[in-house]
Chains A and B, each alone.
Chain A
C-alpha cells in the first residue's frame, strides 16, 4: 500500500500535523490478549454485587425485570447491532421495519398519533417534549410536578436553560401527593405558561387521578405526560385524556439496567405536532415495484438538513434498545404484560401493608393508588442510614428520593420502594424483620 502511494513510511501521511501539536507517548499501558482482557474486566465486575444477590426492592423509572432470552437472541444478531443509522433504507429494511413496529407499539400504548424511533432515555425525552411545547406555544414557563424525581428536574432545567425558559414546580397535596390543580389553573391564567408535564405513576410511584383533569385546565397549552409503558398496559392511554405528547422510559421492556444505560427514551405526539417532533422517524412507503418498503422520513426537521433550525440536535438514538423493547413486548404479549403489571401491583399491596405495620415507617406515605412502586417515609433516621443497614442484611430496600447535591433543600426521609419480579413472600418477610430490628437503633427525627 505504501508503494501504491509512493511513500516510504506511514509517518509521511502525518506530515500535515504540525510538530508543535504532536504528542509523545499516550501513557495508557501495554496491549492485552483477549483472555487477559476478560480477566481484567471480570476482576472489576467481581467487585460489584449485582441486585440478583439481594432481596431487591429497587425501582423507579428503571426496573429490575426479567427479560426472556429470546430478546437477547434477537438483539445479539450482528446484522442489527453492528449496523449504523439506516441512511440507505434499501440495505436496512430489517431495522427500519423493527423501528416502525416499535413506533407503532408506543402509539398503541400512549394513544398518540405518531412516535419517533427513540431518544436517549425518559428524562431527555421529557426535555425534548419541553422544547416541542415551546415550538407550538408561546410562553416562558413550563410547569412540572414538585414531586418529579430530582434527576429529571435537573435534566429539564438544562433543556429549559438554552432558550432562556424557566421551570415552575407544581406543589402537591401533602396527604395524597396529588397535584394542586388550583395552582395549575392560577399559573396558566397568567398567560406565560407554554406547557406542563405530569407523570404517571408520579415521582412517588403513585397514581394521581387529577392528571385526567389537566387538559381541561390547560386549554391550548400543550400537556406532556411521562408514563411508564408497563403501567399503560392497564391504564388509560394518555391520549384519551388530552395529552399532546407522551414520553417515557422504556428500559423495563427487555433491557438490563446496566448501571443506568443504555436506556431507551419513548416519544409520541399528536399528528399536528409531527413537524415539530424531534428525532428519527420511520415511515412506510413503496419501492419501484410498488412493494411495501420503509425509510427514515420527515427528515427536513433534522439536524443533518435543517442544521441550526432543526427540531433537535439528536443524531444517534437508541435503536437497538427500541428493538429490544418491541421484541420484549411481543414475546410477553399484551395480556402477559397486563398480567405482569397486575401481579406486581398485588405484590406491592402486600409489601406496603407489611411495611405499614412497622412502627417508625409510614407506608405507603401517600394515600393514593399505586401499581408496583410506592413511597415510604421513615419517622426516624435518614434514608441513607436505613438503606445501608438493610444492605448489610442483603436487602436493597429502595432508593432515597432526596436530591443528593449539597445545598439541596432538606427533605423528609422518603424512599421509593418497588415490588420487583424477584420479590416474594420470603423477601417481604425479610424486609419487615430487618426494618423492625434496624429502626429502633436510628435517631428520632427532629
Chain B
C-alpha cells in the first residue's frame, strides 16, 4: 500500500488575514480605566469558511484511530464507537450546567450512578468516584486519600514512601511526589516485580505500593497475591494503575488481586476518544479502608431519587470543578452496556490474543525480552538495529510512512531501544497482518531510507532538539524572532 498524507501549505491562522488594528474594544460602563483593555485582542478576523478550511486542512495532517492502525503501547487505541459521539451531543447531556438543581439532572445522576455500579463490578472495589479528569489525576487523588488515611491513623509522619517498580509509568512517581511522598523505585527481575527486593524495601515507612498489572512490559505479575501480602503486612496500601486493565477484564480484578485503591482510564479500556491528547476520564475505585476519603460529592440513590451527597467528613474534598468528565462518562456507559458481560470478557481475550499473535510473528525479526507469554501488549528491543547504524527511532519514523502509527518507543527504559506494541481487540486479523507486513518492510529497508523517514507525511523528520534549545512557543515568539532576523545586520559579502 502506498501511503501519502495530505501536505497542505497551510499558513498559521494569523497569517490568513490581518488582525484587529489596535482599536480598543467597546467600553463597558463602570469598568475602571486601569482595568480596561486599551487595544483589541490581536487575532485575525476570518470568515467561517476560512476557519473551516484552515482546521479541516490541519486535520488532514493528523493520524487518528479512524485513519490508521495505532499500536501505541499502554494507550489502548481501540475504536471509539461513532454512536457515543452522537449521544454525548444530545441536549439532555450537553446542555446541563453542573449547578442546576438536582431535580433537573436526575438522568445524569442516574447514568453516572449506573456506570459507577458497573465499574465497581469490573474493579472488584465497591466505591467509585468519577471526578478525576484523567488517569494521572486519579492517581494523584488516590495518593491524597492514602495520605488522609495515614494522617487519621496518626502515621503520616512515618509513612513517607511510595514504592513502585522501575517499569512504572512516569505519572506514578510524579503523582507520588505531588502528594508529598518520596517515590522509591524497586528494580525488576525478568520484567516483573522482584518479590525479594520488594520484601526488603517495604517497611513501616511504606505508605503505598503502586503497580500496573499487567505491567508495562506486558507481563502479568503472577506473584500479585504475594506482593499484596507483603505490602499489607507492613500496613501499606496497594494501588492499582488501571492503564492496562484492557488485558484482564472479566479475568481478574484489582479488588480480587488485593488492591486497596485503583484508577482506570475510561479513555483506554472504555473506548472514550482521546481527543489528540485529552480529554480523558479517570475513575477512582476504593475498597473499604480508603472509600471514606473519596472526593465529594458522591452520588447516592434514595428510593427512586438520586442526589449529590456532600456529607463525607473524611473526604479529601474536591479535585476539580463539577463531578468529572460527564461527556466521557456517558460514552463509557454506552460502551459498557453495549458490551455487557460477554462483550467485556471478549475484549480482554481478543486483545491478549492479538498481542500474542503479533508478538510471536515479530519476535522472529527483533528480540523480545523476558518470557514469551504476554498480555495486551509486548516489548521488542531495537538494539540490533544499531549494528546497521540505525535506531528504534528511525524504525518508528519509517513505520509512519507505511500509514500506521508508531509504537510507544524508549519506554520502559529497562529494555534497550524498546518498542512497546499494543493492538487492541478492535483490530482485525487483516489489520494485524497488515501491521506485521508494514513493520517488516520498514525493518528491512536500507539504513539510508530509515534515517530519511518519514517522507510521506506533511513534514519530514522534525528537529526536536532545536525546538527545545530555542523555544518558540507562540505567535508572539514567532513575531519577535522574525523581528530579530530583520533587525540583524546583513552578513557582509566576502571580499
Say which residue of A30, A70, A76, A261 sits within 8 Å of B324 (CB atoms): A261
Asked if B59 and A74 make an inter-chain contact with CB atoms under 8 angstroms apart, the answer reads yes
Does the CB pair B224–A18 fall under 8 Å?
Answer: yes
CB contacts (< 8 Å) of A285 on chain B: these are 462-464, 466-467, 472
Q: How far is the CA of A38 from the CA of B83 in the complex (A)?
A: 8
| Contact, CB under 8 Å: B276 / A85 | yes
Other than the given A120-B320, A320-B276, 5 more pairs (CB < 8 A) read: A42-B87, A94-B60, A258-B326, A274-B473, A284-B472
Contact B107 A25 (CB under 8 A): no
Cα–Cα distance between A317 and B279 once the two chains are bound (Å) = 6
Beta-carbon contacts under 8 Å, B275-299 to A: 275-281, 296-297
Determine whether B183 belongs to the interface, using a CB cutoff of 8 Å to chain A: yes
**Does any Cβ of A come within 8 Å of B416's Cβ?**
no
Bound complex: CA of A10 vs CA of B122, how far in Å? 20
Contact of A309 among B72, B177, B474 (CB under 8 A): B177
B153 to chain A: which residues have CB within 8 Å? none
Interchain CA distance A394-B481 in the complex, whole Å: 55
Q: Across the interface, which residues of B come within 8 angstroms of A79, CB to CB?
A: 59-60, 62-64, 66-67
Interface centre among A17, A123, A212 (most CB of B within 10 A): A17
Determine how close the nearest CB of chain A comes to the CB of B179; give it in whole angstroms. 4
Q: Is B406 an interface residue (CB 8 A)?
A: yes
B118 within 8 A of partner (CB): yes
Q: How far is the CA of A285 from the CA of B481 in the complex (A)?
A: 12
B302 within 8 A of A: no
Answer yes or no: B4 CB below 8 A from chain A CBs: no
| Best-surrounded residue of A68, A289, A337, A405 (most CB of chain B within 10 A) | A405
Whether A108 and B252, one on each chain, are in contact in the complex, defined by CB atoms closer than 8 angstroms, is no
Q: Bound complex: CA of A289 vs CA of B414, how far in Å?
A: 34
CB distance from B31 to the nearest CB of A (A): 5
Segment of A140-148, A294-302, A355-363 in the binding face: A294-302
A74 to chain B: which residues have CB within 8 Å?
52, 55-56, 59
Q: B174, A313: Cβ atoms under 8 Å?
A: yes
Q: Which residue of B lies closest to A206 (CB)?
A: B30
- Assuming the contacts A236-B38, A310-B177, asked whether A89 and B344 have C-beta atoms less than 8 A apart, the reply is no
Q: Which of B316-368 contact A (CB under 8 A)?
A: 316-328, 330, 333-334, 336-345, 349-350, 352-354, 356-357, 360-361
B105 closest partner in A (C-beta): A48
Query: Please, could you name 23 A-B residue pairs with CB atoms under 8 Å apart, sorted by A?
Result: A26-B249, A33-B338, A51-B95, A79-B67, A89-B459, A236-B36, A261-B281, A261-B326, A262-B278, A263-B320, A280-B277, A283-B472, A297-B464, A299-B468, A303-B171, A303-B173, A304-B169, A308-B177, A308-B182, A314-B134, A314-B136, A316-B278, A331-B51
List the one stretch of A188-196, A339-347, A431-439 in contact with chain B: A339-347
Which B207-243 residues sit within 8 Å CB-CB of chain A?
219-220, 222, 224-225
Residues of A within 8 A of B37 (CB): 232-237, 338
Contact partner of A31 (CB less than 8 A), chosen from B80, B106, B343, is: B343
Set B250, B318, B452: member contacting A23, Cβ < 8 A: B250
Give bound CA distance, A302 to B20, whole Å.
36
Q: What string of 1s and 0s marks CB contacts (under 8 Å) between A316-343 and chain B?
A: 1111110100110111011101110110
Measured in the bound complex, the distance between the Cα atoms of B30 and A4 in whole Å is: 76
A260–B28 contact, CB under 8 A? no
Q: Point out the residue from B327, B458, B477 that lies within 8 Å of A261, measured CB to CB.
A: B327
Are B277's CB and A25's CB within 8 A? no
Contacting residue for A91 out of B62, B134, B144, CB 8 A:
B62
- By the criterion CB–CB under 8 Å, are B124 and A23 in contact? yes
Let me know if A103 and B474 touch, CB within 8 A.
Answer: yes
Q: 0/1 per residue, B77-97, Cβ < 8 Å to A? A: 100100101111111111111
Cα A323 to Cα B54 with chains together (Å):
12
CA distance A282 to B349 in the complex (A): 38
Contact A109 B32 (CB under 8 A): no
Bound-complex Cα distance A337 to B256 (A): 53
List B contacts of A2 (CB < 8 A). 353
Whether A207 touches B31, Cβ cut-off 8 Å, given contacts A20-B225, A48-B108, A162-B180, is yes
Q: Which residues of A contact B488 (CB under 8 A)?
A: none
Interface residue stretch chosen among B11-19, B195-203, B379-387, B437-445 = B11-19
Complex contact B277–A161 (CB within 8 A) = no
The contact string, 1 if C-beta is below 8 Å from chain A, for chain B 12-51, is 1110000110000110111110111110111111101001
User: In the complex the two chains form, is B97's CB within 8 Å of A80's CB?
Assistant: no
Chain A window 201-234, contacts with chain B (Cβ cutoff 8 Å), 1 for yes, 0 for no: 0000001010110000000000000000000111
A148 to chain B, nearest CB (A): 12
B94-135: contact bitstring with A at CB < 8 Å (1 yes, 0 no)? 111111110111111011001000100110100000000111
Kindly provide the distance from the CB of B416 to the nearest chain A CB, expressed in whole angstroms: 17
Instruction: List chain A residues, Cβ under 8 A from B14.
Output: 101, 104
B144 closest partner in A (C-beta) = A158
Residues in A with CB closer than 8 Å to B296 are: 405
Q: CB-CB contacts of B451-480 with A at 8 A, as 1s and 0s?
A: 010100111111110111001111111100
Decide: A260 and B322 in contact? CB cutoff 8 A: yes
Does B390 sit at the interface, judged by CB under 8 A? no
A261, B219: Cα distance in complex, Å: 34
Residue among B96, B176, B322, B473 with max Cβ neighbours from chain A (10 Å): B473
**Is A349 part of the contact surface with B, judged by Cβ < 8 Å?**
yes
Q: Are A334 and B322 in contact (CB under 8 A)?
A: no
Instruction: Verify if B397 is at the interface (C-beta below 8 Å from A).
Output: yes
Contact (A282, B473) CB under 8 Å given A62-B98, A158-B144: yes
**In the assembly, what is the distance between CA of A122 and CA of B133, in Å?**
12
Report the nearest B residue to A122, measured CB to CB. B321
B477 touches A114 (CB 8 A): yes
Candidates A23, A44, A68, A339; contact of B253 at CB < 8 Å: A23
Residues in A whose Cβ lies below 8 Å from that of B147: 161-162
A225 to B310 CA separation, bound complex (whole angstroms):
29
| B189 interfacial by beta-carbon distance below 8 Å | no
Residues of B with C-beta under 8 A to A47 = 106-107, 110
* Interface assignment of A185: CB less than 8 Å from any CB of chain B: no
Across the interface, do B93 and A258 meet the contact criterion of CB distance under 8 Å? yes
The answer to whether the Cβ of A366 comes within 8 Å of any Cβ in the partner chain is no
Question: How far apart sit A117 and B94, CA to CA, in the bound complex (Å)?
Answer: 24
**A31-B341, A234-B26 are known contacts. Are A262 and B327 too (CB-CB below 8 A)?**
yes
Judging by beta carbons under 8 Å apart, are B174 and A82 in contact? no
Q: Do B468 and A1 touch (CB < 8 A)?
A: no
A329 to chain B, nearest CB (A): 7
**What's the minimum C-beta distance from A125 to chain B, rounded to whole angstroms?**
10
Complex: A387 Cα to B101 Cα, angstroms = 8
Q: Which of A1, A100, A212, A257 is the one whose CB lies under 8 Å from B357?
A: A1
By beta carbon, the residue of chain B nearest A1 is: B357
In the assembled complex, the Cα of A103 lies from the Cα of B327 at a distance in Å of: 24
Asked if A18 and B454 sit within 8 Å, CB to CB, the answer is no
B246 at the interface (CB under 8 A from A): no
Give the residue name and chain of the B residue nearest to A349 (CB): B29
Closest residue of chain B to A123, judged by CB? Answer: B321
Within 8 A of B (CB), among A10-28: 10, 13-18, 20-23, 25-28
What is the minimal beta-carbon distance from A209 to any residue of chain B, in angstroms?
A: 5
Pair A288/B461 contact, Cβ less than 8 Å:
yes
Complex-state Cα separation, A289 to B459, whole angstroms: 8
